Amino acid sequence: MNNDEARFILRAYRPGGLDAKDPMFATALQQAKHDPILNTWFEREQSYDMVLAAKFREIMPPGDLRDRILAGGRVSQKPSRSSRRLFNWLALAASVAVIFTLSEVWQGRRVEAAQVAYAQFAVDDTKNGHHLPAQGEVQKNMLAMLAQSNTKLPGSLPLTMEEMKSNGCRTVKFAGRDAVELCFSRDGTWYHLYVTSRGALPRSLLKKSSALLTINETVVAVWSDRNYDYAVVSPEGIDALKHLAG
The structure's pTM equals 0.56
Q: What is the pLDDT along the chain (246 residues), one digit of tens a residue?
A: 788 788 878 877 877 677 788 787 888 899 988 998 888 888 877 877 777 666 666 666 666 766 766 666 555 455 556 555 555 545 544 444 433 333 344 344 433 577 788 888 898 898 887 776 667 777 888 889 999 999 988 888 888 888 888 888 889 988 888 999 999 999 999 999 999 988 877 766 655 667 777 777 788 888 888 889 999 998 788 888 888 886
Q: Tell me, what's the pLDDT at 94?
A: 47
Q: Tell me, what's the pLDDT at 97?
A: 40
* CATH 3.30.200 residue ranges for the chain: 126-244
Give the three-class secondary structure for 200: coil
CA distance 133 to 168: 9
Q: Tell me, what's the pLDDT at 218?
A: 84
Amino acid, single-letter form, for residue 241: L
- Alpha helices by DSSP H, the chain: 3-10, 26-34, 36-58, 65-74, 81-128, 136-147, 161-166, 238-244
Q: Which fold has domain 126-244?
A: Phosphorylase Kinase; domain 1 (3.30.200)
Q: Tell me, what's the pLDDT at 105?
A: 40
Give the three-class secondary structure for 42: helix
Q: Tell me, what's the pLDDT at 61?
A: 64
